[in-house]
A and B are shown apart, each in its own frame.
Chain A
Amino acid sequence: MPIDWIYGLAGGLVIGLGGAVYLLANGRIMGASGILGGLIDGSGRDSGGERLAFLAGLVGVPALIALVFGLLPDTEVTGNAALLIVAGLLVGAGTRLANGCTSGHGVCGMSRLSLRGIVATVFYIGAGGLTVLAFRHILEVI
Chain B
Amino acid sequence: MRMLFAAVAGGLFGAGLMLSGMTDPRKVQGWLDVFGAWDPTLAFVMGGAIMPMALAWAMTRRRAGPLLGGAFPAPPEPRLGHNLVLGSVLFGMGWGLVGLCPGPAMASLGYGGPSVWLFTLAMAAGMLAAPRLRVRIDTIAAGA
Contacts and interface: CB of A to CB of B under 8 A. Distances in A.
Interface of A: 4-30, 32-33, 36-37, 40-41, 43, 49-67, 72-79, 81, 83-99, 101-103, 105-112, 114-117, 119-121, 123-133, 135-137, 142
A107 B94 CA distance: 19
B23 to A, nearest CB: 6
B16 A116 contact: no
A83 to B, nearest CB: 6
Interface band, chain B? 35 or more
Nearest to A96: B130
A120 B82 CA distance: 11
A38 to B, nearest CB: 9
Given A10-B19, A111-B56, A119-B84, 5 more contacts: A58-B106, A58-B107, A77-B108, A92-B123, A123-B88
A83 B96 CA distance: 11
Contact of B20 (A8, A17, A91, A116): A8
A98 B69 CA distance: 28
B45 A93 contact: no
B51 A91 contact: no
B134 A89 contact: no
B143 interface: no
Contacts of B56: 16, 19-20, 23-24, 111
A72 to B, nearest CB: 6
Interface in B112-139: 112-113, 115-116, 118-131, 133-134, 137
Contacts of B100: 77, 87, 91
B41 A8 contact: yes
Contacts of A50: 2-3, 6
A123 B27 contact: no
Contacts of A124: 88-89, 91-92, 95
A78 to B, nearest CB: 6
A5 B11 CA distance: 22
Interface centre among A13, A24, A62 (most CB of B within 10 A): A62
12 contacts: A20-B55, A26-B6, A32-B13, A57-B7, A57-B9, A65-B18, A75-B111, A88-B94, A98-B85, A98-B88, A111-B53, A127-B95
B91 A95 contact: yes
Contact of A25 (B9, B34, B88, B97): B9
